[in-house]
Each structure stands twice: as C-alpha cells, then as structure tokens.
C-alpha cells in the first residue's frame, strides 16, 4: 500500500484495490517490461495491415510495374493476431480485477475494450472458417482502438476534441454558407452563353452545382489557384474580383478564425482535463500522507501521530518507489532535512513532492586537476567558450568550401569530377576536428566531455569522419597524382567523398546549442517528439481508419489503360496507345502509384491529400472512376486532417514554444544547456491550474471504493 501511494509521477488514478496481492499485481502490470510488451503487441497488431491482403510487400505501388507479390498463407497473420488478442484479453482481465466490478461498470473505455475484443474474435473465427477469403475484415477497422485505450492522455485528448467539435462545427457551417453563396454567384456570373469561345470558365469549373462547389472548395485550399480563374480572367480582368473576394474571406479570414477557435477552445478543454490529472497526483499525495500517518505509533513523537508521518518511514518508502533516479534522490535529500525533527506534517509532506514539478538541473563533473602550470594554462584555453566559436567558424568554412566545389562541378558527371582536391581539403578539416575533440577531452576529462550533449553529437560524427577518411586513404592511397577519376572499386571515391561531405554538413548542426533561440526551437521540436505522442497517436488512428475505409471503397478502382508507357510530365511523346489525357489530371500527372490498392499506398495517398497540393486531381479521378459520392470521402479527410488536425498541431506547437520561451527567456546559453525542462502536457498548464482544496481531497478520499480511511 505504501509503495502505491507514492506512485505519483504518472498521474494515474488511485481507485483500485489496495491489498498486498493487488498492489504486487499493480506494480507488475505498470512495470516497464509489462508496458513495453503491451505496446509491442499493439504495434504488431497494427502493422499486420501492411502484410495482410492486399499486401504492401512490393517494391512499387504503381500498378504498371507491380508484379505478383508474395502473400502470407492463410493462418500466418491470423495466428499472430490471435496471440495479440489473447494478450489483450489478459490485459482486460488484469485491469478489471484491479479496479473491481463496480468501477468496471462505470468505465466506458473498458466496456468498449470488451466489445472490441469480442467482435475481433468473432470476425477472426469467421475469417479462418472462410479460409481467409472474406471480402471485408471488420476487425481491421477496430484495431486502432487498442492504441487509444492504452493511453490516458490520448483518451483525454480525444475527449477534448469531442467537446471542441460544436465550436468547430459553427465555423465550418459559416464556411459552408460562404461556399454555397459564392457558388450561386459563380454559376450566375459564368453561365453558358451562345459564344462557345467565352464558355471556358463554365465548361471547366461551373458546368453544374457539383463541379462549381468542388472548384471553389479546392480554391479555398489554394490548390487550384490561379488555374480556376484564368479562363474568365483572360476575357475580363474584373472577374478577378470574384475569386479574390472568395479567397480573402474564406482562406485568410474564416480559415484563420477556425485556427484561433480550435486553439482557444481546445486549450480550454485540455486545461480542464489536465486539471483532473493534477488532482490525481494531489490526491495520491494526500492518501499517502493519510496512510503513512497511521504508522506514527512507532515514532518518538507519539503525541503528533495523528497529524505527522515519520521521516524514517518516508525514506524507507522512497528507497523502493519506482520513479526517475534524479527525482528520487532529490526528494530523499529534501526529506532528510527533517531528520532532526523526526516527523513531517501535511504541508511539509506535500512540499517535498513539489520537486516532481521542478526543472532538472544538470550539473557537469568538475574539471580534472593538473599539477603542471603549462597544462593548467592549456586547460583554461581549451575549456574556454571562444574555442567553440572558433570551431563553429571552421565548420562553416568547411561547409562553404564544399558548397563552392559542388557549384563548380554541378554540370560535370561523376566521372569528370576531380574529387582528389575535395578529399584532400576535407582531410585537413577532419584533422582539425579530431584535434579539437582531443583538446576538449583533455580540458574537461572524459566524463565532463560526455556530459554535454553537443559534445556527444560532435564526437560521434568526428569519429565516423575519421573512420571514413582512413578507409579512403587505405583504398585509394590519396593524395596520388595518377589517380583515375573513372576508377570504381567496390565503392567509388565519389560515393565515399559524398558520404564524408554529408556528414560534414550534418556536423554543422553543432552550432544549434550555441545560439539561444535556435537551441530553444530545437528543444521545442524534441519535446514535441517526446511529449506530444498522444496527439500523434490519434493522428495514426485517423490515418488507419481512413486508409481501411479507402481500401474498402476504392481498391482496384483505377487501372492504367493497356499499352500506356512511362510518360514525362512535360512531354506526351511516349504514348503508345490512343489514350488521351487532359492536362492536370491524375493520368497526365502520372499519379498511378497513389492509389488504394494496398495499405501502404493508401497511407501515402492520404498524406498527399492532407498536404492539399493537387488534391483535386485525386478527388476528380476517383469520382470519375467510381461515383460522384467519392468526393465526400476526400472532403471528410480534408476536414479531419488538414482543417482540424493540422490546426490542433499548430496550436500545440505554439503552446509548447510559449511555455519554453517564458521559462528560459532570462537564461543564458549555458543555462539552456544545463537545464532540462521537463515539458509535459501537465506541466505546460500547471501554472494556470487551480490547486484542489483540502476539503475536496478528503471528500474524494472518502469516496475511494477500496481504501477506507478514518
């Protein structure tokens, strides 16, 4: 029980069984090994879509070149999937046991988890009974649920998105009204006339209601600008007013207003949701104090046993608790300050756990001590900040030299280039990099050198460059005046020099930690990768669901005409049949590899549509090859991905960057290197959250289904 009460740094609920056996099971279930195993199982079951029919195991997704691909025999992927489903059943059983039946009935996600597993097993049985020849696998559509239910933050994010939808819907409704209004005006402006030469706008973009709506919807994303207005604009420049007004109101006003609403509303709902997580931590701390105070009978200060905890008991618990070693040692050190008193009251107990919300300060090891005055002087020189600046300047000169040589040789083939000069030049720079690294190791010592993240990056790249340079010298005996540029061994000199140049350019990223704003932006990007996995997870879910639907609806819908060869985007000379193509269409742009014929190809096509560059070509092609209703699918994906999710991601980048900027704008470059900002979603909103009162915490503690405190 004691261990669980201090299990605070994960913001988990404490509404579960608290007997000894249950707590042992709880700790095993939330151990790193168990959670990694569960995560691996979810990954495997999601990746099955790439192997199942229609398989993505081919070099190209282009149907013109796609040969017969290997498909796993019936029972292989099904066996793997059944193992995963069994693991999910065990996961459900453990969760249900830990929280109890009463809490299980209240949990909508657990009930949904049960239903998804049940439907998946039934569908699996039907699939096996049909020898894997079924046309529709319902369980493929349900697999993303396993990813959603395993992340509490992902569930909170989804809940916030759900609550934000009414506000988003109001702006989308305004966009729809704007679109319909301009569609009517456009159909009136560009109606068909008796003069066929003046009907270009009508024929291409305003022939009927569906075409008009589609043309203006695509214009809202700027994907067909200025193509959509050229036929009318070439007749009368005044027609440009219509298209400019539509774009200014729709694209630059309403779409940006939508971004602001999504940012504001979603941030508010996420703040409320994160408040619940912080209350969980405070509730855990309060419960821990209440339980630990029951052991006050063994303390010397027995007259305070009802309101204090014994310091020795807290230290004993902290020695066994599972949390980052840095925070464990910090909390233990703060706790030991009360060792003279022997006990801690409630405020003191809560204060020691405030260390979990503080930034981690990374202390670098002390510099090595040298007795020789000469060595001491050299140590001062090589540990000075100006050495970094000089090294960055040399790296910049190296990159400029490479760029100059590449520009001079841009028109030459690889056989015509004299790579000997570039290689000798790189050799000189690499020797300097090695000298710089050795001097830093001398000045800081090995432990001190490796305590800087930019030194680790710099050292690894320098060692790789040195290994490549030794390989080049051993292979080609450079410098050598009789060397033949056309000589090709196992790896040509140009290929090795090219790899060296790539590493040198990559090494130039070492300047990032030395420029404060650049370091802040880079750390923000890293935090996005580490801490915004929940939002990326929901994007994976959305991609997965739409890809499965796309395969169901459009698999094999578009097939290249027989006899068509590889075409150039600028030439039509290689057409080997009478097949004609309109400029700018799916066929003329050679978009054949973008299709829904397998899962991997569907993912790439959805990404292309999300970017909204030429997305009208895909929408037009699938509406021509299938039905006009295919446009609904692509519009729904555009609304979900480009309108909603991209705006959400922009909002979260802004929030993350503002948080880090506010925390570090008064710090120096050295402080930015030393301080590891623990930027979690909870901490991003901590300073605007309201702390729960003592009465609220006690009220929730008394409602605990398994913990009965006096």
**pLDDT band at residue 234 using 50, 70 and 90 as cut-offs:** very high
SS3 485: coil
Which of 273, 292, 315 delimits the end of a domain?
Answer: 273
The answer on pLDDT for 660 being more than 70 is no
Report if residue 338 sits inside a domain.
yes
Q: How far apart are CA 367 and CA 448, in angstroms?
A: 7
Q: Residue 421's pLDDT is what?
A: 74
How confident is the prediction for the chain on average, in pLDDT? Answer: 79
Predicted confidence band of residue 314 (pLDDT cuts 50, 70, 90): confident
338-381 pLDDT per residue, tens: 887 778 877 788 777 776 666 566 677 888 888 888 888 888 88
Give the separation between CA 641 and CA 190, rounded to whole angstroms: 32
- Distance, in Å, from the CA atom of 332 to the CA atom of 184, rounded to the nearest integer, reads 71
How many independent structural domains does the chain possess? 5
pLDDT of residue 569: 44
SS3 for 278? Answer: helix
Run of H or E including 360? strand 360-361
Section 105-115 average pLDDT: 90
CA distance 117 to 139: 9
Residue 485: pLDDT band by 50, 70, 90 thresholds? Answer: very low
User: From CA 175, how far away is CA 644, in angstroms rounded?
Assistant: 14
Residue 309: strand, helix, or coil:
strand
401 with 280, same domain?
A: no
- Same domain assignment for residues 531 and 654: yes
Let me know if residue 247 belongs to a domain. yes
Q: Residue 49: which pLDDT band, with cuts at 50, 70 and 90?
A: very high
Same domain, yes or no: 338 and 432: no
Q: Give the C-alpha distances (Å, rounded to integers) separating 424 from 402, 473, 481, 604, 631.
A: 12, 10, 12, 43, 59
Q: Which is more confidently placed, 413 or 662?
A: 413
Q: Which one, of 682, 548, 603, lies nearest residue 144 by Cα?
A: 548
pLDDT at 568: 43
pLDDT at 493: 62
Residue 298 half-sphere exposure, CB side, CA atoms within 13 Å? 10
SS (H, E, C) 557-606: CCCCCCCCCCCECCECCCCCCCCCCCCCCCCCCCCCCCCCCCHHHHHHHH
- The answer to the question of residue 698 being in a domain is no
How high is the pLDDT of residue 1? 43
Listed residue (34, 41, 48, 16) closest to 146, CA to CA: 41
Tokens representing 35? 């959670």
How far lies 125's CA from each of 81, 138, 262, in Å? 11, 12, 43
> How far does the chain reach from its first CA to its final CA, in angstroms?
16
How far is the CA of 50 from the CAs of 54, 55, 295, 348, in angstroms?
Answer: 8, 6, 56, 55
CA dihedral sign, ordered 391, 392, 398, 400: negative
Give the least confident one: 134-143, 154-163, 426-435, 563-572.
Answer: 563-572
pLDDT at 689: 52
Residues 146 and 280 in one domain: no
Q: Greater confidence, 68 or 674?
A: 68
pLDDT score, position 30: 85
| pLDDT 10s digits, 452-479 | 878 888 888 888 888 888 887 777 665 5
Compute the radius of gyration of the chain from its Cα atoms: 32
Band (pLDDT 50/70/90 cuts) for residue 315 is confident
Mean pLDDT throughout 92-103?
87
Is 593's pLDDT higher than 70? yes
Please state, in angstroms and rounded to a whole number, the distance separating the CA atoms of residues 345 and 347. 6
Whole-number Å distance between alpha carbons of 287 and 709 = 9
The pLDDT of residue 195 is above 50 = yes
Higher pLDDT, 36 or 296: 36
Percent of the chain with pLDDT over 70: 76
Indicate the range of 29-38, 268-277, 297-306, 483-492 predicted with least confidence: 297-306
User: What is the spatial distance between Cα 458 and Cα 463, in angstroms, rounded to a whole number?
Assistant: 9
C-alpha to C-alpha distance for 554 and 557, rounded to whole angstroms: 5
**Whether residue 656 sits in one domain with residue 670:** yes
Q: Please compute the mean of the pLDDT values over residues 230-238 and round it to a whole number.
A: 92
Q: How confident is the model at residue 544 (pLDDT cuts 50, 70, 90)?
A: very high
The predicted-structure confidence for 570-591, as pLDDT tens digits, reads as follows: 444 444 444 567 777 888 888 9
pLDDT at 318 over 90: no
d(CA 226, CA 219): 9
Encode pLDDT of 54-76 as tens digits.
888 888 888 888 777 778 888 89
Q: What pLDDT is recorded for position 662?
A: 65
- DSSP label of 15: -
213-222, 298-307, 473-482: which is most confident:
213-222
Long-range contacts of 629-635 (CB under 8 A, 24+ apart): 630/553, 630/554, 631/210, 631/214, 633/549, 633/550, 633/553, 634/609, 635/217
- Say what the pTM is: 0.73
Plot region of 445 (φ>0 → left; ψ -120 to 50 → alpha; else → beta) = left
**Whole-number Å distance between alpha carbons of 53 and 200:** 45
Assigned domain for 390 exists = yes
- The whole-number average pLDDT for the span 288-300 is 60
pLDDT at 443 over 80: yes
* Average of per-residue pLDDT across 589-606: 92
pLDDT for the residue numbered 360: 60
pLDDT mean over 91-115:
88
Please tell me the least confidently modeled range out of 170-174, 279-283, 431-435, 667-671: 667-671
Q: For residues 565 and 572, is the Cβ–Cβ distance under 8 A? A: no
Three-class SS of residue 384?
A: coil
Is residue 114 pLDDT above 60, yes or no? yes
Q: Residue length, the chain?
A: 710
SS3 296: helix
Are the C-beta atoms of residues 388 and 464 closer than 8 Å to each other? Answer: no
Find the angle CA(430)-CA(434)-CA(438) to the nearest 5 degrees: 170
pLDDT of residue 674 exceeding 50: no
Q: Does residue 309 sit in the same domain as residue 267?
A: no
Pair 309, 407 in one domain: no
Q: What are phi and psi of 300, to 5 degrees?
A: -70, -40
Domain annotation covers residue 707: no
Residues 439 and 541 reside in one and the same domain: no
587 lies in which domain range? 527-561+582-679
Q: Would you state the pLDDT for residue 384?
A: 83
- Residue with more model confidence, 259 or 325: 259
**What is the spatial distance between Cα 465 and Cα 378, in angstroms, rounded to a whole number?**
26
Pure H helices in 130-208: 138-142, 144-149, 152-189, 200-205
Residues 645 and 671 in one domain: yes
Residues 100, 470: Cα–Cα separation, whole Å: 65
Of 273, 295, 323, which closes a domain? 273
**pLDDT score of 277:** 64
Q: Is residue 90 scored above 50 in pLDDT?
A: yes
- 241: domain CATH number is 1.10.287.70
pLDDT band for 486, please (50, 70, 90 cuts): very low
Can you give the CATH number for the domain in which 541 is found? 1.10.287
Better-predicted residue by pLDDT, 708 or 226: 226
The winner for highest mean pLDDT among 151-165, 290-304, 548-562, 680-694 is: 548-562
Instruction: Give per-residue pLDDT as tens, 501-533.
Output: 788 887 877 777 766 666 667 766 666 666 667
Is residue 657's pLDDT more than 50? yes
Residue 143 has pLDDT above 90, yes or no: yes
Looking at the structure, tell me whether residues 113 and 196 fall in a common domain.
Answer: no
Cα gap 461→433, rounded to integer Å = 10
What is the pLDDT, as a whole number, of residue 361?
60
Q: CB-based contacts of 132: which residues, under 8 Å, 6+ apart? A: 53, 74, 75, 78
Spatial CB neighbours of 342, under 8 Å, sequence gap ≥ 6: 299, 300, 301, 310, 311, 312
Domain boundary among 273, 296, 316: 273
CATH number of the domain where residue 420 is located: 1.20.120.350
The 8-class DSSP code of residue 432 comes to H
DSSP 337: G
- What phi, psi does 403 have (nearest 5°)? -60, -40
| Residue 602 falls inside a structural domain | yes
Instruction: Let me know if residue 380 belongs to a domain.
Output: yes
Q: Which residue has the higher pLDDT, 98 or 326?
A: 98
Q: Give the whole-number percent of the chain exceeding pLDDT 90.
A: 24
502/386 same-domain check: yes
Helix axes 255-293, 152-189, angle to 10 degrees: 170
- Looking at the fold, whether 298 and 332 belong to one and the same domain comes out as yes
Do 29 and 94 contact (CB within 8 A), yes or no?
Answer: yes
8 A C-beta contact, residue 299 and residue 343: yes
Does a structural domain hold residue 19?
no
**Alpha helices, DSSP H, located in 234-370:** 240-247, 255-293, 311-318, 325-335, 346-352
**pLDDT of 601-631, one tens digit each?**
999 999 999 998 889 999 999 999 999 999 9
Collapsing DSSP states into helix, strand and coil, what is residue 675? strand
């Amino acid at each position: 029980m004691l261990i669980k009460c201090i299990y605070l740094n994960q913001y988990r609920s404490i509404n579960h069984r608290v007997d000894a056996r249950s707590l042992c099971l709880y700790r095993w279930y939330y151990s790193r090994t168990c959670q990694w195993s569960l995560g691996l199982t979810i990954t495997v079951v999601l990746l099955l879509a790439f192997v199942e029919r229609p398989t993505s195991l081919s070099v190209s997704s282009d149907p013109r070149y796609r040969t017969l691909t290997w498909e796993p025999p019936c029972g292989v992927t099904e066996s793997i999937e059944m193992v995963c489903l069994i693991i999910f059943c065990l996961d459900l059983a453990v969760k249900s046991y830990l929280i109890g039946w009463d809490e299980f009935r209240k949990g909508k996600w657990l009930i949904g988890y049960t239903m998804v597993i049940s439907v998946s097993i039934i569908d699996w049985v039907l699939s096996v009974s049909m020898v894997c020849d079924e046309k529709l696998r319902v369980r493929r559509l349900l697999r993303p649920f396993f990813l959603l239910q395993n992340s509490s933050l992902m569930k909170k994010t989804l809940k916030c998105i759900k609550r934000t939808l009414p506000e988003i819907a109001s702006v989308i409704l305004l966009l729809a009204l704007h679109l319909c209004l301009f569609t009517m005006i456009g159909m009136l402006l560009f109606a068909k006339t008796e003069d066929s030469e003046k009907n270009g706008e009508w024929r291409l973009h305003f022939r009927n209601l569906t075409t008009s709506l589609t043309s203006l919807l695509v214009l809202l994303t700027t994907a067909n600008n200025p193509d959509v207005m050229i036929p009318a604009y070439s007749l009368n420049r005044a027609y440009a007013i219509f298209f400019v007004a539509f774009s200014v109101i729709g694209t630059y006003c309403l779409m940006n207003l939508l971004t602001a609403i999504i940012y504001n509303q979603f941030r508010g709902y996420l703040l409320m949701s994160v408040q619940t997580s912080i209350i969980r931590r405070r509730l855990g701390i309060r419960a821990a104090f209440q339980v630990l105070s029951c052991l006050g009978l063994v303390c010397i200060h027995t007259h305070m046993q009802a309101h204090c905890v014994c310091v020795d008991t807290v230290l004993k618990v902290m020695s066994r608790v599972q949390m980052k070693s840095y925070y464990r040692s910090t909390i233990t050190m703060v706790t030991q300050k009360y060792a003279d008193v022997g006990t801690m009251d409630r405020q003191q107990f809560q204060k020691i756990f405030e260390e979990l919300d503080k930034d981690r300060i990374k202390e670098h090891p002390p510099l090595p001590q040298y007795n020789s005055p000469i060595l001491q002087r050299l140590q001062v020189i090589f540990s000075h900040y100006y050495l970094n600046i000089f090294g960055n300047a040399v790296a910049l000169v190296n990159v400029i030299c490479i760029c100059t040589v590449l520009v001079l040789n841009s028109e030459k083939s690889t056989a015509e280039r004299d790579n000997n000069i570039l290689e000798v030049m790189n050799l000189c720079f690499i020797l300097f990099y090695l000298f710089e690294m050795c001097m830093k190791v001398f000045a800081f010592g090995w432990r001190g050198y490796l305590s800087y993240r930019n030194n680790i990056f710099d050292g690894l790249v320098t060692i790789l460059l040195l290994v490549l340079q030794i390989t080049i010298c051993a292979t080609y005996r450079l410098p050598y005046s009789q060397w033949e540029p056309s000589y090709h061994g196992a790896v040509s000199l140009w290929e090795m020099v090219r790899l060296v140049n790539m590493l040198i350019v990559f090494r130039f990223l070492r300047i990032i930690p030395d420029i404060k704003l650049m370091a802040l932006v880079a750390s923000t990007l890293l935090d996005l990768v580490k801490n915004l996995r929940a939002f990326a997870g929901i994007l994976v879910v959305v991609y997965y669901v739409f890809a499965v639907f796309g395969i169901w609806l459009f698999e094999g819908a578009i097939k290249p005409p027989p006899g068509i060869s590889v075409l150039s985007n600028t030439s039509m000379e290689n057409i080997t049949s009478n097949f004609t193509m309109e400029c700018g269409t799916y066929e003329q742009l050679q978009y054949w590899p973008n299709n829904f014929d397998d899962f991997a190809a569907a993912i790439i096509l959805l990404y292309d549509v999300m970017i909204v560059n030429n997305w009208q070509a895909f929408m037009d092609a699938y509406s021509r090859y299938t039905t006009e209703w295919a446009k609904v699918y692509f519009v729904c994906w555009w609304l979900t991905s480009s309108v909603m999710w991209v705006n959400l991601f922009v909002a979260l980048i802004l929030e993350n960057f503002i948080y880090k900027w506010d925390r570090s704008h008064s710090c120096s470059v050295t402080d930015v290197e030393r301080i590891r900002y623990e930027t979690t979603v909870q901490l991003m909103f901590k300073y605007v959250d309201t702390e729960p009162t003592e009465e609220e915490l006690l009220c929730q503690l008394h409602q605990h289904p398994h913990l009965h405190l006096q």
